[in-house]
Structure 1
Amino acid sequence: MNTTIRIKLSVMMFLEFFIWGAWFVTLGTFLGNNLKASGSETAAVFSTQSWGAIIAPFIIGLIADRYFNAEKILGFLHLAGAFLMYQMYQSTDIGLFYIYVLSYMVLYMPTLALVNSVAFNQMKDPEKEFANIRVWGTIGWILAGLVISFLFHWDSAEAVSNGLLKNTFLLAGIAALILGLLSFTLPKTPPKVSTEKVKIADIIGLDALKLLKDKNFLIFFISSILICIPLAFYYQNAHPFLTNAGVENPTGKMAIGQISEAVFLLFIPVFFARFGFKKTILVGMLAWAIRYVLFAYGNGGDLSFMLITGIALHGICYDFFFVSGQIYTNSKAGEKYKSAAQGLITLATYGIGMLIGFAVAGWITDNYKTVEGAINWLIVWIIPAGIAFAVFLIFALLFQDKNKLANEI
């Protein structure tokens, strides 16, 4: 890969995740303060991510992989996304905002696969080359948070009360416009030539349902859905909670989670080799429970270190469960069902699990209030902590780690 292509692919990854990090992290705070959304309305908006994840395989499988160059579809999707971001920036009604964000997520979620396709198409040895390109996506997400907090200060208490948080959509829209135009200059990534008829079952991974006959995989599958319920609480409530707790520069400080994610990714091979899959994934599950207990009893004053520690645990929470789960799924599926199995797990987690989680989180924030009528944050965090610990116990008791999977790393 020559230097020019490497730079273009790195910028592509940087902008892809800069866009997401620029508006999604602060979304909960924006909805509550700017649009006066209820918990259930906020849950519905966050659920658009899940609907986008469910619809994305159809866009990729039925259109992108068969008829058009990936880089061109990427360009059109981001240009349309830039327009929708501007509409979200101008929106003052939760009903219209929901339509805009749902439309945006249906267009954005497929781009996560498209940027990978464009990158992989230029690599001779993806296992060695991809990480160096993909890391720029994490850097993009982190920088978006730092810019919002420390450069523009849009998440300060005064700025939030003055409605300046809506500028995050303008920032994301500008980045989407740039990436949309840049995409047309990316290396050509032609569609896969195939005469076979596309099956819906292949796209959403239904063939991999045969793997559920394996008791251990079934337990893992159910646990994956259940652990996404507390995950949804973090996405939906973390930023509003930190803002309410009086934490300064909450968006920038939440970027600690992405730094943690990049660091702990390096530890997964070590954990797999020494402890095996079961213990590795149990550490991830337990970390979810611990982080929410820290959120429940921490505050923005003398106990602010508990909140920062909870954010920093994101790397263990996410990597040790989701990345480990992808490796486990890959090892169980075999060559025939690898793609189908990953698709099925994605549908189960970001689709079913997160939809349930957002709905539960929204219901709890609406129905558990303090005497003064404010959100009872203690309850909001204790409940997902309990769910995560229950999943931890179920997995610990029922899953049998027959193969350590050390050879899979």
Structure 2
Amino acid sequence: MNIKLRLTLMNFLQFFVWGSWLISFGGYMIATLKFSGVEVGSIFATMGIASLFMPAFLGIIADRFINAEKVLGICHIIGALLLFVAAKVESYPTLYIIMLFNSMAYMPTIALANTVSYNALEKNGINIIKAFPPIRVWGTVGFIFAMWMVDFLGWTKSPMQLYVSAGAALILGLYAFTMPKRPPIKSTDARSFSSSVGLDAFVLFRKKKMAIFFIFAMFLGAALQITNLFGGTFLDDFKTIYPDTFGVKHPNLLLSVSQISETLFILTIPFFLNKFGIKKVMLFSIFAWVLRFGLFGLGNPGSGLYLLVMSMIIYGMAFDFFNISGSLFVEREADLNIRASAQGLFMLMTNGLGAFFGGILSGWVVDHFTQNGIRNWEHIWFTFAAYALILGVTFPFVFKYKHDTAEEKAVNNHF
């Protein structure tokens, strides 16, 4: 099989595994298992905990001891077994432990899949910069396809979503062993643990501008998974008022518009960076989060469906503009010898600390506005919107950065 097709299939399965449960799992835990918001938030926060150290740790294993494609395969096989077990568990403490270990197995595979892809393309003499993005976009397609599959089969409130994910993970785990070999690096260039997690880049905190940026990265990282946690539950709570509406019957299909929007907005980033500069693009992202949450608070699956659709569309700007423009900003501001570490630090602040605190605090907010099992979603979403608004109002005053068109063009060319 053509190597591009093989990598396309690998990336499709990589995110199919995640998309099978990430968006609907919160609704399953609340509606079926009767978990509290704090319990649901803490289980999702396991991804943040795992992201603090596991990608770096297994990255070193792949760099120094075991072929990357084998580490990728082993992780997915372990994840498959854990998901099979999780599907049978109804106890919060037990499910928390299992999903923590599953996060430890899955979260490193995102970077490992990239490593395996880059290696395979390079070995076949294919330009990575040109060839990989069209391959990677099929990962998002896989994520969306998994959401649709679970939705159409009526498994959004069922443990079957975990069985689907486990089956795909097992297939991918075995398939990974067939990929082109990417052996350990036999040189002193292999990254140390401190470099991998971004500890070398902590020197950047000496610069006020960078310290402020990373702090905001953590604060905004707390918002990244909130609608993934509670979007399905939010729509499900309208089943008595709007029982026959599209959003209630097919919550995953409606929520998948967010991922579709993400694939489209990524194409606009070079234009926005060149026109407005990184500071304004990141500011657009923060206020997009205000709209994302605010429109959820105003909308409903009935007469307010258009507001929910608008929220889904704006998600692409909210998610992509911060993650990608932020990564490019770090790439330019960090010295050449610590750029990899700086990117590790950026991920640690957003997907590590940010995601962890976001999961815990969002669960607390949901429980705070829940009385007798009834959730006041307007107050919940407006609280999240207010949080993003505070960040948006504060950011331009404390983050000092001047747009230089020539420099931004250079960044775009790099992108």
Task: Please say whether Structure 1 and Structure 2 have the same fold, judged by a TM-score greater than 0.5.
Answer: yes
Q: Hey, what's the Cα distance between the residues in 2 that align with 1:72 and 1:266? A: 33
1:186 corresponds in structure 2 to 179
Match of 1:32 in 2: 30
User: How many Å apart are 1:403 and its aligned residue?
Assistant: 4.2
**TM-score, length basis structure 1:** 0.93
Deviation at 1:139, TM superposition (A): 0.6
Separation in 1, partners of 2:25, 2:138: 23
* Matches of 1:249 and 1:175, distance apart in 2: 22
Q: What corresponds to 1:393 in structure 2?
A: 393
Letter in 1 for 2:201: A
Q: Which residue of 1 aligns with 2:293?
A: 292
Deviations 1:6-57 (A, max 9, x none): 1111110000000000011111111112221111111110011111211223
| TM-fit CA distance, 1:351 | 1.1
For 1:145, which of 141, 144, 147 is the aligned residue?
147
Measured after TM superposition, the shift of residue 198 of structure 1 is 6.0
CA distances 1:291-320 after superposition (whole Å, capped 9, x unpaired): 111111111210111112112211100111
Shift in alpha-carbon separation, 1:373–1:57, aligned structure 2, 3 A: closer
1:213 aligns with 2:206: yes
Q: 1:244-284: CA deviations, max 9, x gaps? A: 23423011221111110110000000001111111111111
Counterpart of 1:113 in 2: which secondary structure?
helix
Q: Is the 2:259–2:316 Cα contact (8 Å) retained in structure 1?
A: yes
> For 1:202 and 1:117, how far apart are their aligned partners in 2?
17
- Match runs of 1:56-75 below 5 Å: 56-75=54-73
CA distance in 1 between counterparts of 2:217 and 2:104 reads 23
AA aligned to 1:94 is Y
Q: Aligned residue for 1:249?
A: 250
Matches within 5 A, 1:258-407: 258-370=259-371, 373-404=373-404, 405-407=408-410
Contact 2:60 2:192 in 1 (8 A): no
Q: 1:236 is matched with which residue: 217, 229, 241?
A: 229
The 3-state SS of whatever aligns with 1:230 is coil
Which of 133, 136, 139 is the equivalent residue of 1:134? 136
Amino acid at match of 1:347: L
Aligned position for 1:226 = 219
Alignment of 1:2-17 (within 5 A): 4-17=2-15
CA 338–197 in structure 1, closer or farther in 2 if over 3 Å, else same? closer
Give deviations 1:339-366, integer Å, cap 9, x for gaps.
0000001111111111111111111111
Quote the residue 2:19 is aligned against. Answer: 21
CA distance in 2, matches of 1:299, 1:326: 34
CA contact (8 A) 1:77 1:111 kept: yes
Kindly indicate whether the alpha-carbon contact (under 8 Å) linking 2:31 and 2:233 is maintained by their aligned counterparts in 1. no
Q: Which moved more, 1:130-139 or 1:204-213?
A: 204-213
C-alpha distance in 1, partners of 2:68/2:162?
A: 25
1:323 and 1:259 map into 2 onto residues whose CA distance is 17
C-alpha separation in 2, matches of 1:54 and 1:126: 28
Contact 1:75 1:180 in 2 (8 A): yes
Distance 2:108 2:311 in 1: 30
Q: What is the match of residue 408 of structure 1?
A: 411
1:104-123 alignment, distance < 5 Å:
104-123=102-121
Whole-Å separation in 2 of the counterparts to 1:278 and 1:224: 13
Q: Distance in 1 between matches of 2:147 and 2:59?
A: 33
Whether the 8 Å CA contact 2:196–2:340 is kept in 1: the answer is no
Q: What whole-Å deviation, never above 9, does each CA across 1:127-146 have from its counterpart, x for those lacking one?
A: 11110110110110010111
Q: Distance between the aligned counterparts of 2:342 and 2:203, measured in 1?
A: 10
Instruction: Give the letter aligned to residue 378 of structure 1.
Output: E
Q: How many Å separate the matches in 1 of 2:190 and 2:16? A: 36
Question: For the Cα contact (< 8 Å) 1:147–1:252, is it kept in 2?
Answer: no
Query: Is 1:50 aligned with 2:48?
Result: yes
How many Å separate the matches in 1 of 2:161 and 2:233? 15
> What is the alpha-carbon distance in structure 2 between the residues aligned to residue 196 and residue 116 of structure 1?
19
The Cα RMSD (Å) is 1.5
Give the counterpart letter for 1:292 in structure 2.
F
Deviations 1:195-224 (A, max 9, x none): 478644212111111212222222211111
Rounded to whole Å, the distance in 1 between the matches of 2:238 and 2:331 is 41
Q: Is the 8 A contact 1:5 1:187 kept in 2?
A: no
8 Å CA contact 1:282, 1:395 repeated in 2: yes
Q: Structure 2 stretches of 5 or more lacking a match?
A: 240-246
Q: Is the 8 A contact 1:45 1:102 kept in 2?
A: yes
Q: C-alpha separation between the residues in 1 aligned to 2:312 and 2:270?
A: 23
Unpaired runs of 5+ residues, structure 1, are none
Distance 1:196 1:319 in 2: 31
Residues 80 and 66 of structure 1: is their aligned pair in 2 closer, same or farther, counting only changes over 3 Å? same
207-216 vs 397-406, greater mean Cα deviation = 397-406
CA displacement at 1:149 relative to structure 2:
1.7
